[in-house]
Amino acid sequence: MNLENLFAVHTSLLELAIRGSVMYLLLLAALRVLVRRHVGSMSLMDLLLMVLIADAAQNAMATDYRSITEGVVLCGTLIGWNYFLDWLAYRSPFVQRLLEPAPLPVIRDGKFIRRNMRQEFITEDELRGQLREKGVESIDNAELVCIESDGGISVRLRG
């Protein structure tokens, strides 16, 4: 074991930060467009961060980067981007709208909005099942049902 190589930097730290930044932003944009209802209770950015950190940490541990320092810099870059975007979304409603999709109505006034259901690949049976879990037996009772940004379903019943 060569202790000098264990913490040596073999790749430019700036290059690692740029690689991490580009991958984070590209994957965030792709997941923002493609994923809504499959994420569950984790936010999209949290899920993305976990996946990228797991990969970056694995590479650092398996010597793909040749040193722990490079893996730490890459993980730090990913954490930094996640923190910065969370902070920015908290401060700016515009950024929040960019990072978190708006609720998508799938039932309005007791009627299915088929176009939105097709967009999310949610079937009538899946939606009815979600409504039963929320205690709604008939869609006629629903004034508005939306798929929220975290993948959950919100229901507003008729008054």
Q: Same domain for 21 and 76? A: yes
In angstroms, the CA 24 to CA 93 distance is: 21
In angstroms, the CA 137 to CA 135 distance is: 6
Q: Same domain for 127 and 86? A: no
Please state at what angle helix 44-61 crosses helix 13-34, rounded to 10 degrees. 140
Q: How confident is the model at residue 75 (pLDDT cuts 50, 70, 90)?
A: confident
pTM above 0.85, yes or no: no
Q: Same domain for 76 and 122? A: no
Q: Give the model's pLDDT for residue 113.
A: 97
Task: Pick the last residue of a domain from 78, 99, 120.
Answer: 99
Our count of domains for the chain comes to 2
Q: Same domain for 77 and 111? A: no
Counting Cα atoms < 13 Å in the Cβ hemisphere of 9 gives 11
pLDDT above 80 (res 60): no
Q: Same domain for 55 and 75? A: yes
- The CA-CA-CA angle for residues 153, 43, 41, to 5°, reads 45
Q: pLDDT, tens digit, for every residue of 126-135?
A: 999 999 999 9
Q: Same domain for 33 and 57? A: yes
Higher-confidence residue: 31 or 150?
150
User: Could you tell me if 60 and 72 are in contact, meaning their C-beta atoms sit under 8 angstroms apart?
Assistant: yes
Beta partners for residue 126, in sequence order: none
Q: pLDDT, tens digit, for every residue of 18-59?
A: 888 887 887 777 767 655 544 456 677 777 887 887 887 677
What are the backbone dihedrals phi and psi of residue 11, each rounded to the nearest 5 degrees, phi first?
A: -125, 145
Q: Give the model's pLDDT for residue 37.
A: 46
| CATH code, domain with 146 | 3.30.240.20
In angstroms, the CA 73 to CA 78 distance is: 9
Q: Residue 120 is part of which domain span? A: 104-157
Q: Same domain for 108 and 82? A: no
Q: Same domain for 21 and 65? A: yes
Q: Same domain for 87 and 131? A: no
Pick from 24, 84, 71, 72: nearest CA to 48: 24
- The CA-CA-CA angle for residues 2, 68, 60, to 5°, reads 110
Q: Same domain for 63 and 88? A: yes
Q: Same domain for 81 and 114? A: no
| Most confident listed range (41-45, 46-50, 71-75, 77-81) | 77-81
Q: Same domain for 34 and 64? A: yes
